[in-house]
Structure 1
Amino acid sequence: MAWTGTLSRSVKEIRFLFCQSSPASFAAREFVKKNYAEIKSRNPSVPFLVRECSGVQPQLWARYEMGVERCVNLDGLTEAQIDRKLQELAKIGESAKAK
């Protein structure tokens, strides 16, 4: 996940929402467990929020400049697919800055 070192240039905040116990949120929970430390250490100024709520569908939110936010539903995705979704959200932020 070398790409995570540039995350702070395009994203102002990362937010994961998931259920503490539902099977639909399993991959999101595992992704956060395995990758939080690396992402946070490479981007210490970017808030990385984890919100747990019983029964909620797993989601990934990215906040960009000017308060613009994007959401991706993570239901049914694998950890590798969640990683790609986070990369896609980072690229959206990069392209918005280029305009």
Structure 2
Amino acid sequence: MRVSMLRNIKFAPSVKEFRLHLCQSSAESKGARDFVEKFYVNMKRENPQLPILIRECSGVQPRLWTRFEQGKEKSVPLTNVSADEILKLVESTK
């Protein structure tokens, strides 16, 4: 098990939801699929009340959406981004 998999990823109360959109088979979404495989379980364990939604759709460009208090949303494109780079993006949201 890699050290990065053991990190605690605890979010501020202002974060209300994460949504990850990805394609099940495209090369552009490989990092997003790897991120889910490597880090989803620990993120959910550390944030049991936070909705973390994984949305698969054929041909969609991968994107991470974060919803904050008062309905404010921020999205980041994840095309050809590695799982570790996605983890850094997620951690910067804490």
TM-score of the aligned structures, taking structure 1 as reference length: 0.83
Whether 1:16 and 2:20 are equivalent positions in the alignment is yes
Q: Partners of 1:82 and 1:55 in 2: how far apart? A: 19
Q: Which runs of 5+ in 1 are unaligned?
A: 92-99
Q: Give how far 1:9 is off.
A: 2.3
Q: Which runs of 5+ in 2 are unaligned?
A: 1-6
Q: How does 1:1-99 map to 2 (within 5 A)?
A: 1-2=7-8, 4-5=9-10, 7-88=11-92, 90-91=93-94
Tell me if structure 1 keeps the 8 A contact 2:22–2:33: yes
- Deviating runs (4+, > 4 A) in structure 1? none
> Which amino acid letter does the alignment assign opposite residue 13 of structure 1?
E
Deviates more, 1:22-31 or 1:7-16: 7-16
The total of aligned residue pairs comes to 88
> Which amino acid letter does the alignment assign opposite residue 19 of structure 2?
R
CA RMSD of aligned residues (A): 1.1
Tell me if structure 2 keeps the 8 A contact 1:19–1:57: yes
Q: Partners of 1:17 and 1:8 in 2: how far apart? A: 22
More helix by share: 1
More strand by share: 2
Q: Partners of 2:43 and 2:14 in 1: how far apart? A: 14
Q: Partners of 1:25 and 1:37 in 2: how far apart? A: 19
Q: Please state whether the residue corresponding to 2:13 is helix, strand or coil.
A: helix
> Which amino acid letter does the alignment assign opposite residue 42 of structure 1?
E
TM-score of the aligned structures, taking structure 2 as reference length: 0.87
